[in-house]
Structure 1
Amino acid sequence: MTATLTQIYDARVAAGDIHADAAQRAVLPMLERVRAGLEAPVKKSGLFGLFTKPPEPVRGLYLWGGVGRGKSMLMDLFCDAVAAPKRRVHFHAFMQEVQAKIETARRARVEDAIAPVAKEIAAEIRLLCFDEMQITDIADAMIVGRLFELLFAAGVTVVTTSNRVPEELYKNGLNRQLFVPFIGMLRARLDVHEIASETDYRQHRLSGAQVYFTPLGAQARADMDALWDELTGHDEANRLVLHVKGREVVVEHFHNGVGRTGFDALCGAMLGPADYLALAGAVRVLMIDDIPQLSAARFNEAKRFVTLIDALYEAKVRLICSAAAEPEVLYRAGEGTFEFERTASRLREMQSADWAAQA
């Protein structure tokens, strides 16, 4: 007999993999309902099964609450257990993919460029699991209503997490009145539930922890690995690929809002402010390995690093990194050293307990 989500959760608690949490456990029957609906046999309609309409999607679930409440962990547990065609993806990365496909359809002069994109998605899956639904970009805001209308009509079920209640999505955004019907659609198609756990597990793991490791070497690598394992629960990670204006921003390792990649992948590549803003919007914690000693010969990398840190700082992304030297001496000679002083100051501030609490 297949184990229920509650049984799977309790087994992980007993094994010491996770801590028991009443607020998390209360969500499991809701997810089990969605799972049961997706795994039930699909009834065919029409004459001898011909001219069948897509099945009605199972009513989904919108889980929201503060950072570190275990939303992503519950999503993983649910998605792994569901025996149905599915996809688990970070919402920001998904919308970047959708925008790129819509642009391709427009270049092909397709009249309704969103329709073939929705059709392609619905042909492959019955369940979309989104991590961290958040909408800050006007392009996303103008797309989601039509896109999700088509996905629901095609029988796709949606389960998503978010840090905010649906009514707070795209708050104060440009032309928000055009976006508001999407909120009604979410309410009509998904049960909305707040995870009100009093424990912020992510913050607990980072509370008082060292987050800047220098010098580079075996010890710094071991310390970074240990924090990565703590933050991801030793689970397998995936690559995060963000598509920004025809470019790819790649984070080699990504899990539950935590990304990890090397300095060269972010600052050695031809990336700019838009790329770093997209990255800052896609991760809650970013681990950067092997920040080198910078010099005038690496001015371009230093300039990109300044832009990257500005984006992470403004977005309140928690930064963990290993570096060749302390922030104040990472870049001491070359054009832009004055500007780098602010970056060094921000790197220092981002290590503090006060800033961690804000993040």
Structure 2
Amino acid sequence: MLRSPMQRTLLACNCVHSVLRSSHCRHLSHNPPDSPSAAYHRAVSDGKIKMDATQWAMISHFDSLCERLTAYEKKTRFPYSLLKNPAPHGIYLHGPVGCGKTILMDMFYDTCTYPKKCRTHFHSFMRNIHEGLHVLRTSSPRSRPFDPIPAVAKTVSSESKLLCFDEFQVTDIADAMILKRLFENLFASGVVMVATSNRKPDDLYKDGLQRVNFIPFIGLLKKQCLILDMVSHIDYRHEMLMAEGGSGPSYYFVYGETPNLDEKLANWFTKLAEEDGHHGPPVSITMNVYARLVELPCTGNRVMMSSFADLCNKPLGAADYLSLASHFHTVILTQVPELGLSHRTSLKRFTQLIDVLYDKKVRLVIGAHLPIRSLIRHEQRSSSELLEQNRQLIDDLNLSTNNHAAENISLFSSAEDIFASERTVSRLEEMCSSHYWCSAGPSRINPS
């Protein structure tokens, strides 16, 4: 059915609104400090974090951005004032896993009084962008050329003028090909971006397919954001684990090391569900996610238990995991196997699941077949295997299947997989610690 430009835009708006509605603000207290540096000092004084010279050097830049945003907001309250007052530069903070990037950005977000702000995981944001673009393309007359990116960007900028992205990473060619045009439109509309990443800008989408078309975005990113390198050799998530005794995270259990582990995890579920007000046997529910039904056979109020196979071997994605994280504050995951790159689809789903649960501060209990640092096996796949795996993508893009193309796919896939798996292991260590459980919600019981 053909629709008018206004109808098409409204359809796209509905898709993009969902990611902005799912944005969240995590305050350190009910009376947040008036600056990121004040929030940092309070967290140190309360014993929540340790004073770190590198983090302290970074926090001053967030203080400065808060001040510039406040001044900018006052100057742009009147019509057409955006034309005379360009938006301040944002911040792109990159560094190794566990060095505190997300904590610093959250302190900035929680204390910044700039209106129309949104904090979200970059992957979730881009998924909703693509949904909005798809709606506009499929509802547009084929005989009439139509670029949907400006319309989607306009929707985003009307909802939020400050975008804060956790885990800015580019692993999908579909993202890589639209980022420059998308963010050109966002920046032109006065949007300010703050992002954390494990990658410096020049390494984004490194060795990816058609990277020559992505490189202009790197220049745009450097022009619009202050690039901060959080040089650190400390993984605070791993240090947190060592502080708890070093024998393993408190809420991560290994089959073979813990007798009758499935029974123990079932007891965890029963006690946690009872503490949440559920009494009786587990309840099977069906969640509707974008017209797709997701079966959850073991729930009790806002506590759920599921096997790895049910959440990561089935065709679920970020939207499903976001729905779970919005509904449940505690997840018990059983029968997690050894994960290798040869089972890349399940591994990617597991990585997405952990990213979403971490971002939403969901408490996690895991029963796995290997210790946490041995859970993900790095294995080098041959170029021919990767070429076959990406055959459909290569055909869609009309790329050559010569040895050089296969080599580039191999380099890119292996590097990105290793980056993602290192982040997942680091986050698992934090999420299964007692410290995380206290910060994610009151540690109400300690089942035996």
| TM-score greater than 0.5 by the shorter chain | yes
1:67-106 correspondence to structure 2 within 5 Å: 67-84=97-114, 85-106=116-137
Equivalent residue of 1:42, what SS? helix
Shift, 1:29, TM fit: 1.3
CA separation in 2, counterparts of 1:194 and 1:73?
Answer: 15
Conserved 8 A contact 1:349-1:355: no
The answer to whether 1:212 aligns with 2:234 is no
The answer to whether 1:263 aligns with 2:298 is no
CA separation in 1, counterparts of 2:347 and 2:59?
Answer: 39
1:175 is aligned to 210
CA separation in 1, counterparts of 2:227 and 2:294?
Answer: 32
Q: Deviations over 1:291-341 (max 9, x none)?
A: 379xxxxxxxxxxxx8875446899x7997444xxx6xxxxxxxxxxxxxx
From 35, 59, 66, the counterpart of 2:89: 59
Conserved 8 A contact 1:21-1:197: no
1:142 is aligned to 177
CA separation in 2, counterparts of 1:308 and 1:132?
Answer: 20
Q: CA RMSD in A?
A: 4.3
Equivalent residue of 2:131, what SS? helix
Q: Deviations over 1:126-149 (max 9, x none)?
A: 100000100000000011111100
Shift, 1:201, TM fit: 0.9
Equivalent residue of 1:271, what SS? coil
1:275 is aligned to 317
Shift, 1:19, TM fit: 1.2
Shift, 1:125, TM fit: 1.5
Shift, 1:270, TM fit: 9.2
From 222, 237, 258, the counterpart of 1:187: 222
Amino acid across the alignment from 2:124: A
1:240 is aligned to none
Conserved 8 A contact 1:212-1:351: no
Shift, 1:261, TM fit: 6.8
2:59 is aligned to 28
The answer to whether 1:5 aligns with 2:33 is no
CA separation in 2, counterparts of 1:118 and 1:224?
Answer: 43
CA separation in 2, counterparts of 1:188 and 1:35?
Answer: 19
Equivalent residue of 2:177, what SS? helix
CA separation of 1:212/1:32 partners in 2, compared to 1, >3 Å: closer, same or farther? Answer: same
1:129-168 correspondence to structure 2 within 5 Å: 129-168=164-203
From 335, 348, 356, the counterpart of 2:370: 348
Q: Deviations over 1:99-125 (max 9, x none)?
A: 111111112218111111110111112
CA separation in 2, counterparts of 1:62 and 1:219?
Answer: 44
TM-score by length of 2: 0.55
CA separation in 1, counterparts of 2:186 and 2:204?
Answer: 20
Shift, 1:186, TM fit: 0.6
Identity %: 32
Amino acid across the alignment from 1:275: G
Amino acid across the alignment from 2:151: P
Gaps of 5+ in 2: 1-32, 255-260, 274-288, 296-302, 322-329, 337-342, 358-363, 379-420, 426-448
1:38 is aligned to 69
CA separation in 2, counterparts of 1:23 and 1:51?
Answer: 40
Shift, 1:204, TM fit: 2.0
Equivalent residue of 2:314, what SS? coil
CA separation in 1, counterparts of 2:207 and 2:268?
Answer: 42
TM-score by length of 1: 0.67
From 307, 314, 332, the counterpart of 1:289: 332
Count of residues in Structure 1 that have an aligned counterpart in Structure 2: 288
Equivalent residue of 2:105, what SS? helix
Amino acid across the alignment from 1:291: T
Shift, 1:197, TM fit: 2.5
CA separation in 1, counterparts of 2:225 and 2:187?
Answer: 11
CA separation in 1, counterparts of 2:138 and 2:233?
Answer: 49
